[in-house]
Amino acid sequence: MEYAGAVEVQPPIRADEGEWLVRAEWTASGDGRTIRPRRDAALDDCVQGLRDLVAIDLGSRVYDGVVAAYDERTRRLVIVSTRSGRVTRRTLRKPQDVVTRENVIDLASHRRAIMRAATR
């Protein structure tokens, strides 16, 4: 899963609050003004962790931002956003079955068509 984007936090998160943030699958920037999902975090864990953070800090902190999550294997694109104390998750591109095709033509099964084309 690849993540892009960040969630702004006002007032910034202090360094001593980082432990519970890591348990929520998020990491804070150096100045504590933004948070981003951990690279190895699963999408469902990130969404639930952000919902927990917003619920814990309701009234004392404001979370505002958008994070896009893209799964290269399934080609699924999901937007996770937070504003006004709400966390929403929206799928922009649903997962698609990955079909592997080989670019090899079995000449034995196409012998007649190939021979006709070659003799003309």
How far is it, in rounded angstroms, from Cα 120 to Cα 114?
Answer: 10
Q: What is the pLDDT of residues 93-106, one digit of tens each?
A: 877 665 666 666 66
Cβ contact 9:32 at 8 Å = yes
Beta bridge pairs of residue 8? 34, 64
Cβ contact 65:82 at 8 Å = yes
Please provide the average confidence, as pLDDT, over all residues in the chain: 84
Record the pTM.
0.74
pLDDT confidence of 119, banded at 50, 70, 90? low
DSSP 8-state secondary structure symbol assigned to residue 94: -
Query: Mean pLDDT across the stretch 24-47?
Result: 92
Q: What is the pLDDT of residues 39-73, one digit of tens each?
A: 999 999 999 999 999 998 888 999 999 999 998 88
- Rounded to an integer, what is the distance from CA 30 to the centroid of its chain? 22
